[in-house]
Structure 1
Amino acid sequence: MNDQTFMKLMRLLPKSALSTVVGMATRAPLPAPVHQAAMRAFARSYNVDMAEAEHPIEHYPTFAQFFTRGLKTGLRPIDADAKSVVSPVDGRVSQVGYSDLGRCLQAKGIEYTVDELLGDAEAAKPFHGGAWTTIYLSPRDYHRIHSPLAGTITGYAYIPGEFWPVNPASVLNKQSLFCVNERLVTYLETVAGKCAVVKVGATCVSRIKAAYDDVTTHTGQPGKVHRYQEGYKVEKGGELGRFEMGSTVILLFEPGRVKWDPVLQEDAVLRLGQRIGVVP
């Protein structure tokens, strides 16, 4: 199937309803032999490294718990340098750069604005001209999202939206893909100033959960922006949330506050906790 045929099918597909149904199915308790066989088949199909999982596959009573599994303690050491920016996830770099006049690159020939991404021009203003990167999480990856720097969680924004796939065909063809899909944005104050960690939903990524508050997306609730009076302290590598299945994370920083490491190249494979940048 070529990209254009795929995109035509995606336009016709009821993506939100499908994501809801898939999400409900992943959370449904099934007889142990059934769901364990299905999880093993999934792990084989996507080459999931279960040796890294916190528990053996038999431990997880639902697909959702399997998808959001933790890792064995100490498996992803967090770079200890206070000024190093670390990868918030296991994933692959889609794009990386510095936002020229608040614009970011989605793919060759396709740009979007930070204002569109955050859904709030005022909140986006501090990030114009700053470092940004897009990291894709595949179905085989660890699906929890962590803080790239130590700091304070100052608020969040839940932005309801669509559920387009975030695979290469969509990234190359769907204008402002990350700005039309559902998003949960976590705002932090760090040694590098303001930081936004944008978690982007996708087809069959039925929900995104925050780790620091009772926030779960795609549950029928309206969009919401919340600012904390005092905020929540978070250490570098501290958990911010999790995807039910894989998707995309976009990091945003203020201009001049973060310099990307040479390792951060398009298609580079990242692991949680590895250094990807530095605070000058």
Structure 2
Amino acid sequence: MDALTALTHVLPHQSLSWLARQLAYSKHPRTRAWLIDTVVRRFGVDLEEALESDPRAYESFNAFFTRALTPGVRTPDPDPRALLMPADGRISQCGPIEAGRIFQAKGQSFTAAELLGEGSGPTPFDDGLFATVYLSPKDYHRVHMPCSGRLLETVHVPGRLFSVGPAAVSHVPRLFARNERLACHFETDFGPMAMVMVGALLVSGVETVWSGIEIPRYGRRVTRKDYRNQHIELARFAEMARFNYGSTVIVLLPPGVATLEPGLGAESPVKLGQRLATLTP
């Protein structure tokens, strides 16, 4: 375990993330410019893809970080059977959910039930498929729908805010099931689908297109919101949520509905809209 990963076990996660949020939303010109310039330089952000390519045009660091892309820079796979990659980033892991467990890294796994805040019971995704996509600070930070779906429920699970970088994923047991997260449940033409937005150290918020800010936390207990009677329909490739700093989104699919795109594996670089999986006939 590297020193930074070890340090995150004792850091005051919530306090640091609160401080990061204050900086991210600051409109002070020098603070804003310093934060944006630092991230662009250190991580090699490609501003040519952004709808607004001038870093000085953003009113805050958060506005820069959640920037929109120029229309047409990302396009969905044209095959209607293709389930789409939900975000730019890298695959952390992907594959089958075996006996209800999701692989995290060598020697590390967690259950689909605990990830979703369901305790220890079975889920519709046991023996299905998962894909964990890590968004680095340079990436586009909006998350889009792999397919069309109707929102059923969200489950906010308070928790820790460990880093979700590769070193932490390799060494922190059950990391994604311990960090604060928002599980979004959808009904689709093939059955249930879940999108889990996982918070991380210095992530100052998660927002959804239907409800606005969901994280920072709005409670100390698991909180469910029922949307079944609100008829919220999101189209394939439509934006569904965004991170206010780098983090991870996990897609869960039920068994027997799709096959993952060949060649996808740990550390595969991915782009929004490319094929994640193919629905079975």
Partner of 1:256: 256
Question: Does residue 178 of structure 2 align to residue 180 of structure 1?
Answer: yes
**Which residue, out of 40, 54, 58, partners 1:43?**
40
After the TM superposition, which residues 121-270 of structure 1 pair with which residues of structure 2 at under 5 Å, given as runs? Answer: 121=119, 125-222=123-220, 223-230=222-229, 231-270=231-270
Shift in Å, 1:206:
1.5
Shift in Å, 1:267:
1.2
Q: Is the 8 A contact 1:93 1:269 kept in 2?
A: yes
What CA distance in whole angstroms lies between the structure 2 residues aligned with 1:121 and 1:192? 25
Richer in helix (by share): 1
What CA distance in whole angstroms lies between the structure 2 residues aligned with 1:150 and 1:123? 27
Q: Is the 8 A contact 1:192 1:258 kept in 2?
A: no
What CA distance in whole angstroms lies between the structure 1 residues aligned with 2:104 and 2:120? 22
- Structure-2-length-normalised TM-score: 0.94
Q: Which consecutive residues of structure 1, in runs of 5 or more, have no partner in the other structure? A: none
What CA distance in whole angstroms lies between the structure 2 residues aligned with 1:121 and 1:255? 20
Q: Which consecutive residues of structure 2, in runs of 5 or more, have no partner in the other structure? A: none
Shift in Å, 1:42:
1.7
Note the aligned Cα RMSD (angstroms).
1.6
Partner of 1:75: 73
Q: Residue by residue, what CA displacement relative to the aligned partner does 1:22-51 show, whole Å, maximum 9, x if unpaired?
A: 1111101112x5522431232011100000
Match of 1:229, SS state, is coil
Shift in Å, 1:229:
2.6
Match of 1:89, SS state, is coil
What CA distance in whole angstroms lies between the structure 2 residues aligned with 1:106 and 1:188? 23
Match of 1:184, SS state, is strand
What CA distance in whole angstroms lies between the structure 2 residues aligned with 1:122 and 1:239? 31
Are the structure 2 counterparts of residues 29 and 263 from structure 1 closer, same or farther at C-alpha, using a change threshold of 3 Å? same
* 1:110 alignment partner AA: Q
Shift in Å, 1:192:
2.6
Are the structure 2 counterparts of residues 65 and 132 from structure 1 closer, same or farther at C-alpha, using a change threshold of 3 Å? same
What CA distance in whole angstroms lies between the structure 2 residues aligned with 1:151 and 1:206? 27
Runs of 4 or more, structure 1, over 4 Å off, are 121-124
Match of 2:132, SS state, is strand
After the TM superposition, which residues 17-36 of structure 1 pair with which residues of structure 2 at under 5 Å, given as runs? Answer: 17-31=15-29, 33-36=30-33
Shift in Å, 1:243:
0.4
Q: Residue by residue, what CA displacement relative to the aligned partner does 1:156-194 show, whole Å, maximum 9, x if unpaired?
A: 111111110011221111110001100011111112311
What CA distance in whole angstroms lies between the structure 1 residues aligned with 2:121 and 2:63? 33
Match of 2:232, SS state, is strand
What CA distance in whole angstroms lies between the structure 1 residues aligned with 2:258 and 2:119? 21
Partner of 2:6: 8
Match of 2:9, SS state, is helix
Are the structure 2 counterparts of residues 37 and 20 from structure 1 closer, same or farther at C-alpha, using a change threshold of 3 Å? closer
Partner of 1:91: 89
Shift in Å, 1:122:
8.3
Are the structure 2 counterparts of residues 232 and 122 from structure 1 closer, same or farther at C-alpha, using a change threshold of 3 Å? farther
What CA distance in whole angstroms lies between the structure 2 residues aligned with 1:195 and 1:112? 18
Quick one: percent identity of the two aligned structures?
34
Q: Residue by residue, what CA displacement relative to the aligned partner does 1:183-218 show, whole Å, maximum 9, x if unpaired?
A: 011111112311000010000011111112244211
